[in-house]
Amino acid sequence: MSHTVSRTPLWMRWRALVLGATLIASATICEAEVQQIKADGAASNLIVDPGLESQEQFAWREVSVAASERVPTHPHSGGWCLRVSEGSGSVGQANSGRFAVRAGPYYVEAWVRVDPAFPDVTTFDVQFLDAEGAFKGAEHVGRTKSTQWTRLRRKVIVPDGVASGTLRLIPAKSTGDAKGACFADDFYFAPFATAVQEGRTEAWDGLPLPKVGVRLEDDAPFGGRGISTLVWISIP
Protein backbone atom coordinates (compact mmCIF):
# COMPACT_ATOMS: atom_id res chain seq x y z
CA MET A 1 0.00 0.00 0.00
CA SER A 2 1.32 3.38 -0.89
CA HIS A 3 0.34 6.88 0.00
CA THR A 4 0.60 10.00 -2.12
CA VAL A 5 1.76 12.89 0.02
CA SER A 6 1.45 16.49 -1.07
CA ARG A 7 4.87 18.07 -1.15
CA THR A 8 3.70 21.62 -1.94
CA PRO A 9 6.37 23.94 -0.54
CA LEU A 10 5.32 26.03 2.41
CA TRP A 11 5.97 29.29 0.59
CA MET A 12 3.57 28.32 -2.20
CA ARG A 13 0.82 27.59 0.32
CA TRP A 14 1.57 30.91 2.03
CA ARG A 15 1.31 32.75 -1.29
CA ALA A 16 -2.05 31.15 -2.07
CA LEU A 17 -3.28 32.06 1.40
CA VAL A 18 -2.35 35.73 0.96
CA LEU A 19 -3.97 35.90 -2.46
CA GLY A 20 -7.13 34.22 -1.26
CA ALA A 21 -7.41 36.48 1.78
CA THR A 22 -7.03 39.63 -0.26
CA LEU A 23 -9.62 38.49 -2.80
CA ILE A 24 -12.07 37.72 0.01
CA ALA A 25 -11.40 41.16 1.52
CA SER A 26 -12.12 42.80 -1.82
CA ALA A 27 -15.40 40.91 -2.23
CA THR A 28 -16.42 41.76 1.33
CA ILE A 29 -15.91 45.48 0.77
CA CYS A 30 -17.96 45.44 -2.42
CA GLU A 31 -20.77 43.55 -0.67
CA ALA A 32 -20.73 46.06 2.21
CA GLU A 33 -21.04 48.89 -0.28
CA VAL A 34 -24.01 47.17 -1.94
CA GLN A 35 -25.77 46.69 1.40
CA GLN A 36 -25.19 50.33 2.28
CA ILE A 37 -26.59 51.70 -0.96
CA LYS A 38 -29.51 49.26 -1.03
CA ALA A 39 -30.77 50.95 2.13
CA ASP A 40 -31.11 54.22 0.27
CA GLY A 41 -34.46 53.41 -1.31
CA ALA A 42 -35.69 51.92 -4.53
CA ALA A 43 -37.52 54.49 -6.65
CA SER A 44 -36.99 53.63 -10.30
CA ASN A 45 -36.19 55.99 -13.17
CA LEU A 46 -37.11 59.52 -12.06
CA ILE A 47 -37.26 60.88 -15.60
CA VAL A 48 -40.81 61.13 -16.95
CA ASP A 49 -41.07 59.70 -20.49
CA PRO A 50 -37.31 59.06 -20.75
CA GLY A 51 -37.62 57.94 -24.37
CA LEU A 52 -39.50 61.05 -25.56
CA GLU A 53 -42.40 58.96 -26.85
CA SER A 54 -45.21 61.17 -25.48
CA GLN A 55 -45.90 64.74 -26.54
CA GLU A 56 -48.28 65.11 -23.57
CA GLN A 57 -45.44 64.35 -21.14
CA PHE A 58 -42.80 66.39 -22.94
CA ALA A 59 -41.19 68.47 -20.19
CA TRP A 60 -37.92 69.76 -21.67
CA ARG A 61 -37.54 73.53 -21.61
CA GLU A 62 -34.90 75.62 -23.31
CA VAL A 63 -32.88 78.37 -21.67
CA SER A 64 -31.58 81.39 -23.59
CA VAL A 65 -32.43 81.12 -27.27
CA ALA A 66 -31.98 77.37 -27.71
CA ALA A 67 -34.87 75.26 -28.97
CA SER A 68 -35.94 71.86 -27.67
CA GLU A 69 -38.43 69.58 -29.40
CA ARG A 70 -39.42 65.98 -30.01
CA VAL A 71 -38.34 64.77 -33.43
CA PRO A 72 -38.61 61.43 -35.30
CA THR A 73 -35.07 61.72 -36.69
CA HIS A 74 -33.28 58.38 -36.25
CA PRO A 75 -34.18 57.95 -32.55
CA HIS A 76 -32.17 55.64 -30.32
CA SER A 77 -35.37 53.90 -29.21
CA GLY A 78 -39.01 53.95 -30.25
CA GLY A 79 -40.14 56.55 -32.75
CA TRP A 80 -38.98 59.78 -31.17
CA CYS A 81 -36.00 61.48 -29.55
CA LEU A 82 -35.09 64.92 -28.25
CA ARG A 83 -33.40 67.58 -30.37
CA VAL A 84 -31.79 70.63 -28.82
CA SER A 85 -30.47 73.33 -31.12
CA GLU A 86 -28.69 76.59 -30.51
CA GLY A 87 -28.32 78.82 -33.53
CA SER A 88 -27.41 82.15 -32.03
CA GLY A 89 -23.93 81.37 -30.76
CA SER A 90 -24.86 82.25 -27.18
CA VAL A 91 -24.35 78.77 -25.65
CA GLY A 92 -28.01 77.93 -25.20
CA GLN A 93 -29.16 74.89 -23.29
CA ALA A 94 -32.22 72.77 -22.53
CA ASN A 95 -33.32 71.34 -19.20
CA SER A 96 -35.53 68.37 -18.40
CA GLY A 97 -38.51 68.72 -16.09
CA ARG A 98 -37.42 68.80 -12.45
CA PHE A 99 -37.46 65.64 -10.39
CA ALA A 100 -37.27 65.30 -6.60
CA VAL A 101 -34.01 63.99 -5.13
CA ARG A 102 -32.28 63.91 -1.77
CA ALA A 103 -28.66 63.76 -0.73
CA GLY A 104 -26.93 60.53 -1.68
CA PRO A 105 -25.58 58.48 -4.59
CA TYR A 106 -27.46 58.38 -7.87
CA TYR A 107 -26.74 57.07 -11.35
CA VAL A 108 -27.42 59.00 -14.55
CA GLU A 109 -27.15 58.15 -18.23
CA ALA A 110 -28.40 59.21 -21.65
CA TRP A 111 -27.76 58.45 -25.29
CA VAL A 112 -26.55 61.52 -27.17
CA ARG A 113 -25.38 62.24 -30.71
CA VAL A 114 -24.35 65.49 -32.33
CA ASP A 115 -26.42 66.74 -35.27
CA PRO A 116 -24.21 66.29 -38.37
CA ALA A 117 -25.48 69.67 -39.59
CA PHE A 118 -23.84 71.32 -36.55
CA PRO A 119 -20.79 69.19 -35.75
CA ASP A 120 -19.74 70.53 -32.39
CA VAL A 121 -19.41 69.34 -28.81
CA THR A 122 -22.45 68.54 -26.68
CA THR A 123 -22.18 68.57 -22.89
CA PHE A 124 -24.50 66.61 -20.61
CA ASP A 125 -24.75 67.36 -16.90
CA VAL A 126 -27.11 67.40 -13.91
CA GLN A 127 -28.07 70.57 -12.08
CA PHE A 128 -29.20 70.63 -8.45
CA LEU A 129 -31.61 73.06 -6.77
CA ASP A 130 -32.76 73.61 -3.21
CA ALA A 131 -36.37 73.74 -2.01
CA GLU A 132 -36.65 77.38 -3.14
CA GLY A 133 -35.33 76.58 -6.61
CA ALA A 134 -31.94 78.18 -6.03
CA PHE A 135 -28.98 76.68 -7.89
CA LYS A 136 -26.93 74.35 -5.69
CA GLY A 137 -24.32 73.11 -8.14
CA ALA A 138 -23.95 70.76 -11.08
CA GLU A 139 -22.30 67.41 -11.79
CA HIS A 140 -20.69 66.83 -15.18
CA VAL A 141 -21.80 63.55 -16.79
CA GLY A 142 -20.04 63.57 -20.13
CA ARG A 143 -19.35 65.21 -23.47
CA THR A 144 -19.41 63.97 -27.05
CA LYS A 145 -18.74 65.28 -30.51
CA SER A 146 -19.74 62.03 -32.18
CA THR A 147 -22.56 61.95 -34.72
CA GLN A 148 -23.23 58.33 -33.67
CA TRP A 149 -25.34 57.45 -30.63
CA THR A 150 -23.04 57.67 -27.63
CA ARG A 151 -23.89 56.51 -24.11
CA LEU A 152 -22.93 59.14 -21.53
CA ARG A 153 -23.16 57.81 -17.99
CA ARG A 154 -21.86 58.41 -14.48
CA LYS A 155 -22.44 57.91 -10.78
CA VAL A 156 -23.19 61.27 -9.15
CA ILE A 157 -23.47 62.31 -5.52
CA VAL A 158 -26.36 64.64 -4.72
CA PRO A 159 -25.12 67.07 -2.05
CA ASP A 160 -26.87 68.02 1.17
CA GLY A 161 -29.57 70.70 0.93
CA VAL A 162 -30.72 69.67 -2.55
CA ALA A 163 -34.45 69.10 -3.17
CA SER A 164 -34.65 68.64 -6.93
CA GLY A 165 -32.57 68.04 -10.01
CA THR A 166 -32.76 68.65 -13.73
CA LEU A 167 -30.81 67.14 -16.62
CA ARG A 168 -29.15 69.62 -18.94
CA LEU A 169 -27.88 69.48 -22.52
CA ILE A 170 -25.59 72.17 -23.93
CA PRO A 171 -25.14 71.57 -27.66
CA ALA A 172 -22.23 73.92 -28.27
CA LYS A 173 -18.70 74.60 -27.22
CA SER A 174 -18.18 77.52 -24.88
CA THR A 175 -15.88 79.59 -27.07
CA GLY A 176 -15.83 80.80 -30.65
CA ASP A 177 -18.83 80.02 -32.82
CA ALA A 178 -21.02 78.37 -30.19
CA LYS A 179 -23.77 77.23 -32.52
CA GLY A 180 -24.70 73.58 -32.26
CA ALA A 181 -27.41 70.95 -32.15
CA CYS A 182 -27.76 67.46 -30.73
CA PHE A 183 -30.16 64.55 -30.43
CA ALA A 184 -30.72 62.65 -27.17
CA ASP A 185 -32.83 59.70 -26.06
CA ASP A 186 -33.35 57.15 -23.27
CA PHE A 187 -32.56 59.25 -20.23
CA TYR A 188 -32.15 57.54 -16.87
CA PHE A 189 -31.72 58.97 -13.38
CA ALA A 190 -32.29 56.83 -10.29
CA PRO A 191 -30.83 56.08 -6.87
CA PHE A 192 -27.57 54.24 -7.37
CA ALA A 193 -28.87 51.11 -5.60
CA THR A 194 -31.83 51.00 -7.97
CA ALA A 195 -29.55 51.36 -10.98
CA VAL A 196 -27.53 48.38 -9.72
CA GLN A 197 -30.67 46.30 -9.16
CA GLU A 198 -31.92 47.17 -12.64
CA GLY A 199 -28.61 46.23 -14.24
CA ARG A 200 -27.71 49.74 -15.38
CA THR A 201 -24.37 49.74 -13.61
CA GLU A 202 -22.23 47.68 -11.25
CA ALA A 203 -22.04 48.07 -7.49
CA TRP A 204 -18.37 48.99 -7.61
CA ASP A 205 -18.89 51.81 -10.12
CA GLY A 206 -17.25 54.91 -8.71
CA LEU A 207 -15.31 53.06 -6.03
CA PRO A 208 -11.51 53.40 -5.93
CA LEU A 209 -9.94 50.62 -7.98
CA PRO A 210 -7.91 48.04 -6.01
CA LYS A 211 -4.21 48.03 -6.83
CA VAL A 212 -2.96 44.77 -8.24
CA GLY A 213 0.73 44.01 -8.52
CA VAL A 214 3.11 41.19 -9.29
CA ARG A 215 6.60 41.06 -7.76
CA LEU A 216 9.34 38.61 -8.69
CA GLU A 217 11.66 37.55 -5.90
CA ASP A 218 14.99 35.82 -6.15
CA ASP A 219 14.23 33.56 -3.23
CA ALA A 220 11.02 32.25 -1.79
CA PRO A 221 10.22 33.96 1.52
CA PHE A 222 9.64 30.72 3.43
CA GLY A 223 11.81 28.08 1.87
CA GLY A 224 11.66 26.48 -1.56
CA ARG A 225 14.02 27.06 -4.42
CA GLY A 226 14.29 29.35 -7.40
CA ILE A 227 12.38 32.49 -8.31
CA SER A 228 8.95 32.92 -6.74
CA THR A 229 6.12 35.21 -7.78
CA LEU A 230 4.20 37.28 -5.29
CA VAL A 231 0.77 38.53 -6.32
CA TRP A 232 -0.80 41.19 -4.14
CA ILE A 233 -3.96 43.24 -4.11
CA SER A 234 -4.41 46.27 -1.89
CA ILE A 235 -7.64 48.13 -1.23
CA PRO A 236 -7.24 51.93 -1.09
Looking at beta carbons only, is 33 or 185 nearer to Ca ion?
185
Q: What's the distance, CA 144 to chain centroid?
A: 15
Using the rule CB under 5 A, is 77 a contact of Ca ion?
yes
Best CA proximity match to 182, nearest among 91, 85, 92: 85
Binding-site residue total for Ca ion (CB under 5 A)? 7
Looking at beta carbons only, is 75 or 92 nearer to Ca ion?
75
Of residues 20, 72, 78, 137, which one binds Ca ion by CB under 5 A?
Answer: 78
Looking at beta carbons only, is 128 or 189 nearer to Ca ion?
189
Distance CA 234, CA 126 (A): 33
Q: Which stretch binds Ca ion (CB under 5 A): 18-26, 51-59, 161-169, 210-218?
A: 51-59
Using Cβ positions, the residue closest to Ca ion within the complex turns out to be: 51
Task: Please give the span between the terminal C-alpha atoms of the chain, in angstroms, as a whole number.
Answer: 52
Looking at beta carbons only, is 40 or 53 nearer to Ca ion?
53
Of residues 50, 75, 105, 165, which one binds Ca ion by CB under 5 A?
Answer: 75
Best CA proximity match to 202, nearest among 131, 137, 153, 235: 153
**Residue 115 exposure: Cα atoms within 13 Å on the Cβ side:** 19
Q: Write the binding mask 170 to 199 for Ca ion: x where contact by CB under 5 A, - elsewhere.
A: ---------------x--------------
Distance CA 141, CA 120 (A): 17
CB of residue 112 vs Ca ion: minimum separation in angstroms? 13
Q: Residue 167 forms beta bridges with which residues?
A: 126
Q: What values do phi and psi take at 152, rounded to 5?
A: -105, 130
Residues contributing to the site for Ca ion (CB under 5 A)? 51-52, 75, 77-78, 81, 185
